[in-house]
Chains A and B, each alone.
Chain A
Amino acid sequence: NAGVMQNPRHLVRRRGQEARLRCSPMKGHSHVYWYRQLPEEGLKFMVYLQKENIIDESGMPKERFSAEFPKEGPSILRIQQVVRGDSAAYFCASSPVAGTTDTQYFGPGTRLTVL
């Protein structure tokens, strides 16, 4: 049973370009969470999605960031017109259900560098 997969593992973009980060949850998991870890800072919640629905996006910046989790395929975190401050590690996690005591399983992360 493969774990949570993220790709790419490393992504380099120039300012103004778009970044697309992909997350494939563990098999049987229908809940996905995205987190951001800025350099020398702790992890911060960004968004929580179920299949085809955004449940909580309270941690998403208001502009340039969007997330989706379609019926088929991976969850996508999209950052438009990237700026240097977007450079960070982006982690996704998945869980099988939304119960309050369910463990979240983390992917290896995507390290985004904006030049």
Chain B
Amino acid sequence: DAGVIQSPRHEVTEMGQEVTLRCKLISGHNSLFWYRQTMMRGLELLIYFNNNVPIDDSGMPEDRFSAKMPNASFSTLKIQPSEPRDSAVYFCASRRQGFNEQFFGPGTRLTVL
């Protein structure tokens, strides 16, 4: 089975531009998590979905960040407008119902100039 797929792997953009990160869950998994990783803050949970429904978005930094799950296997994380402090590695992870283990994607390294 394919693991969690994220795209793009790297994104460099200018301040003020819109950024969209994409994630495809492992087949059969029904929970999706978006994380941000920086040297200063480590791994931070931004938002998670269960069966396409956002359950906890308390980690979303501000209104510039939004996440959607238009279907059971796909999610997007959008930043509009982007700022240099958004530079980080963004991971998504998926989980099968009834299990605790989360499986991470390879991440998207975002650089905002």
Q: Do A and B come from one complex?
A: no
Interface of B with A (CB < 8 Å)? none
Interface of A with B (CB < 8 Å)? none
